Amino acid sequence: VSDRAFFAVYDGHGGDRVAKYAGIHLHELLLNSSEYKDGDYHAALKKSFLGLDEKMRDDKQMLNVKSGATAVATLVTRM
């Protein structure tokens, strides 16, 4: 969608696995959320971050990962 842009920086703590995982999946969760499609971007971002946490907990490849990450993200929209 040309009138919106998502930008994020992920900083790994104790390794890069969680930061890389977030970089692969967070924007997908955002774009696929019903809140995003309905234009409720605040709710969409919140749901996406919470969904990412749940997705990582359910992912067997992330089960024993001891690292973490922090993120700064923004969704720019045309007014």
* pLDDT given for residue 70 in this prediction: 97
Residues 32 and 47: their CA atoms lie apart, in Å, by 11
In the chain, where the domains are located: 4-77
* pLDDT given for residue 55 in this prediction: 98
* pLDDT given for residue 1 in this prediction: 52
**Across 47-72, average pLDDT:** 96
**Across 5-10, average pLDDT:** 98
17-32 and 41-58 helices cross at what angle (nearest 10)? 130
Could you count the other beta carbons within 10 Å of the beta carbon of residue 3? 8
Q: Are 69 and 13 in contact (CB under 8 A)?
A: yes
Query: Quick one: what percent of the chain has pLDDT higher than 90?
Result: 94
Q: pLDDT by residue (tens digit) across 26-46? A: 999 999 999 999 999 999 999
